[in-house]
Structure 1
Amino acid sequence: MNAVEIEEAVSNLAEQPFDAQEFPYAFLEAFGNKATTIKRLRTGASNKSDLDGVLQTSNIHIKVCEPGTVTDTLVALKDSPATKKARAKFVLATDGQWLEAEDLNSGETVACEYVDFHDHFGFFLPLAGISTVQQIRESAFDIKATGRLNKLYIELLRTNPEWGTAERRHDMNHFMARLIFCFFAEDTEIFTGDDLFTSTIEMMSDRDSANTHEVISELFRAMNTKHEDRDAARISSWARKLDIPYVNGGLFADSVEVPKFTKMARSYLLHIGKLDWRKVNPDIFGSMIQAVADEEERGALGMHYTSVSNILKVLSPLFLDDLREQLEEAGDNDRKLLNLRKRMAKIRVFDPACGSGNFLVIAYKEMRKIEAEINERRGEKDRRSDIPLTNFRGIELRDFPAEIARLALIIAEYQCDVLYRGQLEALKDVLPLNAMNWITCGNALRLDWLSICPPTGTGVKHHADDLFHSPINQAEIDFENEGGETYICGNPPYLGYNKRSKEQKEDLDFVFEGRAKNWGNLDYVAGWFVKSADYFRNTKGASALVATNSICQGGQVPVLWPILSELGAKISFAYTSFKWSNLASHNAGITVVVIGLSREDATKPTLFETAKSGEIASRNVSNINGYLVAASDIFVHKRAEPLSNLDIMSFGNHPYYGSALIFSQEEARIQIENAPGSARFVRPLYGSTEVIKGQPRACLWVEDTEVEVANQIEWISERFSKVEADRLKKKTDTTAQKLVASPHRFRDRLEATKYFIAVPQTTSENRAYLPCAILDKRCIPTFKCYAIYDGSVSNIAIVTSRMHLVWIATVCGRMRTDFSYSNTLGWNTFPIPKLTEKNKEDLTRCAEDILLAREAHFPATIADLYDPEKMPDDLRAAHDRNDEVLERIYIGRRFKNDTERLEKLFELYTKMTNNEEAQTKQKAVTQ
């Protein structure tokens, strides 16, 4: 169940007559417990309560008590030995009139009238496996309103299917935006009279809903007509008598056609109107209801929520911290305060992937908070804001979020006016709405950002998209604004290269044309970074965007970051990898970074690093490079040979349409039993999974000189024929065609004479060390594995070191969140000081100790031994000694942390590549 479904179930429970016997089970059912789970609790099979209540292990202890004993009962539940033994997260007591509950982990409590407990459903969301944040727990309204709107939306489309077509989808979305404004306006006194909009529909429309659409349409017409013009416009007499204000602003302009209502849809609308829309939170409401108009996203309804704290990771270091510092420095100095207020009035905030406007709304509210403090200090508390909504601009591809973004800003402005100027002053200025438009609906990578948000002081004017149907001359916005700054922010779509649509690939073609030839593997979000950097060649300001951490790892760095550098962009601040999560149990969150770019040399670039505990540490550094490391701007490129004095690491063997040469060990056993002579041609086969799990597959490995003998064995001959046929099918593949004549072999023929060190291509990020294994010469590595053939055992000490892990994690990139190893990009580039014979001996001994520690736990596999929760102490100690020996080779002591390790590695890499380049130039001169 998602949060919206839970809210509805809890609300239904609160509205029903209280049934003391059934309440605990109904409560648990509302949070998604299955019927079988409830049945086991009812029969006592899983009920662990020692207080004649209902105790669900690892979840909650509930007791219905006598009237007036709720508080005492809650204390008894907390003190219950059964509560502790069952590791309950919550305790809850109620007598049907009053309800109290406590989160035993945080100590937070709820105490309310029983009929109101549904307003606190967010407090209990962990019972459904949904991790929550404080803000959403305190904002039950937004989820409640989202659910109700979704029901109305679906019911209207069911009975008006033509409104769901591409041609009419905008009309439907615009209608929903109109409704939301009316619900908000009637509860905040923008419309005078109690529930003016909702009560009028209830009174004037028939119960069978036959004329509901006509009533709403007439109300919309009235809102779009000035009072003095309503007679001429032939507004119905009943509508003329109502004190409905003239709204304008394009929101009710043009067509006022309304979809037809069923009795059910009318009921939904009236129910929505009776919610308290004063509680709407534009910070999150807009993003939550995005899913209402998107069928593919409805499964996560109410989950589309980005925490304010995450948004502020973008906005605060981008420009808000600077404004706050200037406010602090101004103190009570009237002139300095006035200058700051003037500066803020000229600041533009531009989100070119704005969705429903989260970033713009938060930026606006934070700036209004600073402005209010200025006005307070200057004794101008009731002063009208100098910060215009037209300075908060956005681009959004989808129709509905774009509508909601503008509406969210209108609501935010009104709420700020009420908060800082009072209700009366706010009401004076809210209507009619400003007809200027701030949100453009279109493709941000195709649009000219300078026309959407022009450079300051140029007098450029832009006719914005007519989002609310306002006449084009009304939508004209004058951007003459000498001295102003523009700040680009947002959370653009990520999309790796293998997930992009044809149109999205063409978008990047458009952005990167003439800039780079090898951009094909870049994430989609890279387009926003390039356009941001390009934008600031023409105007003053900076940008900060959320992105997948992959654009700062592996092969994307040497492609994207030189382009940004050529455009003059420098990293002014960055947050290293952290989880950017929604409020969904199924969404643990994607790993992202936040990157701030500026053309100006930052005197103190700030690097924010998030620990696993969630704590954030910041430090000022001299430079932040494209890998988000405090080091010089350097790009690690693939190399054919090792930079350091290391053994060669090769790619494994690729079957190349020779899958018939590979089979399971069980199948190999059966075939060998039937044809004993075939055993000599069967070898163990290892890829990443096989190395880690210690479970090899098998393969046919036949020397060219033995093909004739092998072909005499029927099952082998059949497999050769299958390979030949598979390769023949690939007529346009020249390599496959060359191999047709050799169906007995893999494309590659790499094997050891004694042993080889196998390094898996992919491995979990949860392991503290990169896995590798030493394997017998009969074993064959696949292309999912890298191999050092007959090399020094000391290589194991290097591969499995913490130093190598942090290097790989940074320069090789990831496969999802797993480490993705590369010999050319990870091993061949790995910088290590020149090793003495003594160093090699010490590292060899460390490698042997690691292997011996593993052997002591035979038959445990690498997967078993390197499980972070189960790693044996002796193996952990062997790795720790190995790290100490290697790190002393670098700096004579252990490194303090991974940050220090990376900075040293980049420093050494820079020195070694510079020396190599100098030697190459010198050699060219001498020749």
Structure 2
Amino acid sequence: MNAVEIEQALSELAEKAFEAAEFPFQFLTAFGNKATTIQRLRKGDSNASDVPGGVLQRNHIHIAVAEPGQVGLTLTALKASAKTGQAKAKFVLATDGMTLEAEELATGEAIACEFPQFPDHFGFFLPLAGISTIKEIKDNPIDVRATGRLNKLYVELLRENPTWATEKRRPDMNHFMARLIFCFFAEDTDIFPGASLFTSTVDTMTERDGGNVHEVLETIFRAMNTKTADRAAAGIPRWAAEFPYVNGGLFSGNTEVPKFTRTARSYLYQAGQLNWREINPDIFGSMIQAVADDEERGALGMHYTSVPNILKVLNPLFLDDLRAHLEAAGDNKIKLLNLRKRMARIRVFDPACGSGNFLVIAYKQMREIEAQINRLRGEENQPSEIPINNFRGIELRDFPAEIARLALIIAEFQCDVLYRGQKEALKLVLPLDSQNWITCGNALRLDWLAICPPTGTGVKLMGDDLFNTPLDQSEIDFENEGGETYICGNPPYLGSTWQDEEQKADLQAIFAHRTKSWKSLDYVAGWFIKAADYGTKTNAGASFVSTNSICQGQQVPILWPLIFATGHHIAFAHTSFKWANLASKKAGVTVVIVGISNQQSSIRQIFSIANNGEVSVKVVDHINSYLVAGQGIELQKSAYPLTEVSPMDRGDSAIDGGGLLLDGYEATQFRVQNESAYDEFVRPYMGSEELINGKLRYCLWISDQNAGRAKAAKFISDRMANVTAMRAASSKAQTKEAAGWPHRFGEIRHLDSTYTIVVPRVSSENRDFLPVGLVEGGTIVGDRNFALYDAPIWNLAIVASRLHWVWIGTVCVRMRTDFSYSNTLGWNTFPLPTLTEQNKTDLTDCANEILLAREAHFPATIADLYDPDTMPDDLRRAHERNDETLERIYIGRKFKNDTERLEKLFDLYTKMTAGQAKPKKGMRK
């Protein structure tokens, strides 16, 4: 269940008559627990509570219904319960149906309220549904509630008006919803005169069955689009005359309203009963955008991104500089005035703005700084000089684009109320500004200079309507001549595999004339290069949230030289972290934030987030394209090792449809049927699953000379027939050709050896060390691994080191947060000092110590042994000794941290490749 569904379920529970025996089960049901789970708790099979009337759900919550007036005592008993700790409960909750108290045990955070109000605290309990909790949601539940009410209304209206769900009418539907949102907000903030003018008028003038709701709403909308002096001539009835003239494009154009049912009318009324004064436009805007998107509605309420995360983009981009100038100005009124004038000319531009949360946060932060300036100058009543049409955006979908503009209007009014008072705010809010500053269109196809021009003029291009305002309107005149522009946002990421044809065409249009390798780029790369192009024409800086893949692996040498060629450098960066939203389970994505600028500055910052959440910042002279301190560098794949490590190759690819691979049972069956041929034709097989999780697997390994004899065994001939059929049906010419020799693997790189060092191609970043294994030479290594045949054992010590872990995590591509190992990018390029014979002997000893420590814990697997929470002490000590031995070879001591490791590795790589020595003779490609 998502946050909106949980809030609705709890609200319905609070409205019911309280049933003491049923409440714990009803509460847990509201969080999406399955009927079978609830049934087991009822029967006591999984209920380990030792508190009278208690229900204990392991790893979640301990609930008890108290005697009247005994809620506090019952909560204390729940906390003191031995079972609470044993079951690792996260929450305790007690209620008597009149009051309710709860506590989150890890933090000590508690709530206490009257029973009917406990749904107001639904955000407090969201971890019970596996949803990461955002502080703003905990503190202000109105945004989720409003989203839920409007979603119900939206779905009901589309059910009753199916034509409004078509592509042609959907913009009308979305525009209608934007009008409703404004009306709800306006009546609760006194923008409309009188208490609840909109909701009470609809309630009074409409029939209970909903039959004439559309007519009443159409009349209200028409009134708000008609100036007072013109209303009599326009035939506006007296009951609608109290509504003010709003215009601004919001109520102009088509005023048609979808038909309502009794249910839809009820939902409309329920939405109106909420206190829309408390709406937070950045939260609500982010959430509501899912209402109008069929594909996203399943994630309703999960779009909100926290203010702290947005500020990771905005603060180093420009807000920190504004605050620094404010502090430096002190009480110097001239300096303060100059800063205020500078801020009035700043434009913030989000070319993937969604519902506008980056723009709204930027606007609110700037208004806060401006308010401090005004206080220091003794001008608290000074009207704001920061125009909202300096906050510009592009959004592909029409509904979020409308909500973005509406969110900025709401934010402006709320800031006016906060800093100038309700009376002054009301003077300024109506009529709405009809200028267009949010453009609906494809950001990668539009001219950003036309949408956010450097000289202060406005939009001059054709496109979709927004609030019925054409994009070829007359110029918008805003005083920002010589001002700064800051480009920001969270564009769609989309790796090359997930791009549709239109998105690929977008990238082709931008990159095809720059590089032949554009097809390997993530979609977000288009925003970076367009921002860099924009910066060549005007004073601008840019910062985007992005997948970390654009700063890793093969994309680095494709994208970043193009950006640097425009005169830009990386001004600041946040290294990889989880971009948290109100997301369920593990829906958060690992991202980086990269800020680029063409303005010369000696201060460049690298921000890092530790596991405990603490943020550290390092000021450096340069940041390279891997987000490491140092001069610009782009690693190139190398077919050969640049140092004296042994060659590493991919394992063998069966390409067999399963015909040549055997599990343990199949291998046993073959041995029973063909004892004499077993050892000749069956070999142990080592894929990544077999290496990491200790699984047993085998394969048929048949040479060309023995193919005829092997085929005499029916077990083998049947499997060869399956391989032939599978390969012959392939669309790849190489695979079709391989159908002619079904007895052997499709791609063979195996070398006869005494032993083989094996490295998985993909492994979890949660381990402190890369998994690596040593297997007998007769083992066939599958293509989910890399192999080093008869390599000196000290090579294993290199792979198992923290230095190599850090290098692979930086220069190789990642699959989500997992490492995707590459021999050409990660192993062959790994910077290694020249090793003495004593160095090699020491590292060999370290590798053997690691292997012996593992052996001591047999049959534990690599997955078991390298779980960071349960890693055996002797194995960890062996790795620590290995790290210290290797790192002393580099700098004579252990490195202080991973940042220092990376800086040394990149420095050494730069020196290694300066002359680009040719591969040594005899090294196999």
Under TM normalisation by the shorter chain, which class is it?
over 0.9
Q: Displacement of 1:130 after TM fit?
A: 2.1
Q: 1:530 to 1:473 in 2, by over 3 A?
A: closer
Q: Note if contact 2:436-2:471 (Cα within 8 Å) is conserved in structure 1.
A: no
Partner of 2:569: 570
1:80-107 deviation line (CA, Å, top 9, x unaligned): 4554454433333334333333222222
Partners of 2:350 and 2:569 in 1: CA distance: 20
Residue of structure 2 in register with 1:512 after alignment? 511
Q: Show the counterpart of 1:664.
A: 663
Q: Structure 2 matches for 1:19-30, cutoff 5 A? A: 19-30=19-30
TM-score, normalization: structure 2? 0.96
Q: Specify the alignment match of 1:121 in structure 2.
A: 122
Residue of structure 1 in register with 2:213 after alignment: 212
Q: Is the 8 A contact 1:13 1:27 kept in 2?
A: yes
User: C-alpha distance in 1, partners of 2:822/2:34?
Assistant: 46
Corresponding residue for residue 786 of structure 1: 786
Instruction: Determine whether 1:149 maps to 2:119.
Output: no
- Corresponding position of 1:477: 476
Query: 1:514-565, CA deviations, whole angstroms, 9 ceiling, x for partnerless residues?
Result: 1111121211111111111111000102001000011111111111111111
Q: Contact between 1:651 and 1:785, CA under 8 Å: does it hold in 2?
A: yes
Q: CA deviation at 1:404?
A: 0.5
Preserved contact between residue 461 and residue 471 of structure 2 (Cα < 8 Å): no
Give the match for residue 800 of structure 2.
800
Matched residue SS, 1:579: strand
* CA 797–668 in structure 1, closer or farther in 2 if over 3 Å, else same: same
Q: Which runs of 5+ in 1 are unaligned?
A: 921-927
CA contact (8 A) 1:456 1:479 kept: no
Distance 1:658 1:860 in 2: 31
Aligned residues: 917
Query: Retained in 2: the 8 A contact 1:2–1:303?
Result: yes
Flag the 1:667–1:268 CA change in 2: closer, same or farther, 3 A.
same
Structure 1: how far apart are the matches of 2:19 and 2:862? 55
CA contact (8 A) 1:52 1:63 kept: yes
User: Using the alignment, how far apart are the partners of 1:9 and 1:446 within structure 2?
Assistant: 43
Deviation at 1:474, TM superposition (A): 5.8
The residue matched to 1:620 in structure 2 has which SS? Answer: strand
CA contact 1:656–1:736 (8 Å) conserved in 2: no
Where do 1:202-601 residues align within 5 Å? 202-240=203-241, 243-456=242-455, 466-470=465-469, 476-478=475-477, 481-601=480-600
Q: Distance in 2 between matches of 1:247 and 1:306?
A: 31
Question: Which residue number corresponds to residue 903 of structure 1?
Answer: 903
Counterparts of 1:125 and 1:105, CA distance in 2: 15
The residue identity in structure 1 corresponding to 2:528 is F
Query: Deviations 1:885-917 (Å, cap 9, x if unpaired)?
Result: 111100110111111111110000000100336
1:605 and 2:604 are equivalent in the alignment: yes
Change (3 A) 1:720 1:460: closer
Distance 1:738 1:75 in 2: 72
CA distance in 2, matches of 1:136, 1:614: 20
Shift of 1:479: 5.0
**Contact 2:723–2:739 at 8 Å: present in 1 too?**
no
Separation (CA, whole Å) in 1 of partners of 2:753 and 2:77: 72
| Distance change in 2, residues 1:180/1:722 (3 Å) | same
Amino acid paired to 1:453: C
Matched residue, 1:718: 718
Q: For residue 588 of structure 1, report the CA deviation from its aligned partner.
A: 4.1
- Corresponding residue of 1:925: none
Cα separation, 2, equivalents of 1:739 and 1:854: 42
Q: Could you give the per-residue CA deviations for residues 760-810 of structure 1, whole angstroms, max 9, x where no partner exists?
A: 111111111111222112111122211111111111111111111111111
**What does 1:872-911 correspond to in 2, within 5 Å?**
872-911=872-911
Tell me the amino acid that sits aligned with residue 243 of structure 2.
Answer: I
Contact 1:550/1:814, CA 8 A, preserved across alignment: yes
Q: Is the 8 A contact 2:772 2:800 kept in 1?
A: yes
What does residue 837 of structure 1 align with? 837
Distance 1:257 1:916 in 2: 70
Q: Deviations over 1:381-412 (max 9, x none)?
A: 11111000110000001111111000000000
Task: Name the amino acid aligned to 1:254.
Answer: G
Counterpart code for 2:483:
G
Secondary structure in 1 aligned to 2:290?
helix
Q: Which amino acid aligns with 1:317?
A: P
Contact 2:760/2:786 (8 A) holds in 1: yes
Cα deviations by residue, 1:319-377 (Å, 9 ceiling, x for unpaired): 00000011111111110010000000000000000000010000000000000111111
Cα deviation, 1:102-125, whole Å, max 9, x if unaligned, reads 222222222223222221221222
Structure 1, 84-93 or 423-432: larger mean CA deviation: 84-93
The answer on whether the counterparts of 2:452 and 2:459 sit within 8 Å (CA) in structure 1 is no
Measure, in 2, the Cα distance between the counterparts of 1:652 and 1:356.
48
Residue equivalent to 2:159: 158
SS of the counterpart of 1:545? strand
Partner of 2:922: none
2:719 and 2:27 map into 1 onto residues whose CA distance is 61
The residue type paired with residue 187 of structure 2 is E
Partner of 2:2: 2
| SS of residue paired to 1:296 | coil
Whether the aligned pair in 1 keeps the contact of 2:123 and 2:137 (CA below 8 Å) is: yes
In the alignment, which residue of structure 2 is the partner of 1:923?
A: none
> Which moved further from structure 2: 290-299 or 475-484?
475-484
Q: In 2, Cα distance between the equivalents of 1:738 and 1:126?
A: 53
CA change 1:472–1:544 in 2 (3 A) is closer
Q: Describe the superposition over 1:408-454 as per-residue Cα deviations: whole angstroms up to 9, x where unpaired.
A: 00000000000000000000000000000111111011111111101
Query: After superposition, what is the alpha-carbon deviation per residue over 1:795-843, rounded to whole angstroms, capped at 9, x for unaligned?
Result: 1111111111111111112123211111111111011000111111111
Separation (CA, whole Å) in 1 of partners of 2:54 and 2:449:
65
Amino acid at match of 1:883: D
CA contact (8 A) 2:364 2:415 kept: yes
- Which segment is superposed worse, 12-21 or 612-621? 12-21
Going from structure 1 to structure 2, the CA distance change for 1:51 and 1:723 (only over 3 Å counts) comes to closer
Evaluate the alpha carbon distance shift between residue 670 and residue 324 of structure 1 in structure 2; reply closer, same or farther with a 3 A threshold: same
Q: Distance in 2 between matches of 1:888 and 1:444?
A: 51
Superposition map of 1:749-828 within 5 A = 749-828=749-828
Contact 1:396–1:442 (8 Å) recurs in 2:
yes
Q: Which secondary structure does the structure 2 equivalent of 1:291 belong to? A: coil
Q: Is residue 2:870 matched to residue 1:870?
A: yes
Structure 2 gap ranges (5+): 920-925
CA RMSD of aligned residues (A): 2.1
Equivalent in the alignment of 1:693 = 693
Q: Aligned partners of 1:657 and 1:460: how far apart in 2?
A: 58
Distance 2:619 2:577 in 1: 19
> How many Å apart are 1:618 and its aligned residue?
0.4
- 2 CA distance for matches of 1:41 and 1:666? 40
Tell me how far 1:728 sits from its aligned partner. Answer: 3.6
CA distance in 1, matches of 2:867, 2:82: 33
Quick check: 660-669 or 367-376, which moved more? 660-669
Residues 650-675 of structure 1: CA distance to partner in whole angstroms, max 9, x if unpaired?
22222345752223232122123212
Deviation at 1:482, TM superposition (A): 1.9
| Residues 846 and 882 in structure 1, CA contact (< 8 A), matched pair in contact too | yes
**Greater mean deviation of Cα atoms: 96-105 or 374-383:** 96-105
- Alpha-carbon deviations, 1:626-661, whole Å to 9, x = none? 111112211111111110111111222223457522
C-alpha contact (below 8 Å) 2:282/2:357 kept by paired residues: yes
Separation (CA, whole Å) in 2 of partners of 1:84 and 1:913: 57
Contact 2:721 2:742 (C-alpha < 8 Å) held by counterparts: no
Secondary structure at the counterpart of residue 705 of structure 1:
coil
Residue pair 1:658, 1:743 contacting (<8 A) in 2 also: no
8 A Cα contact 1:459 1:480, kept in partner: no
Q: Secondary structure at the match of 1:118?
A: helix
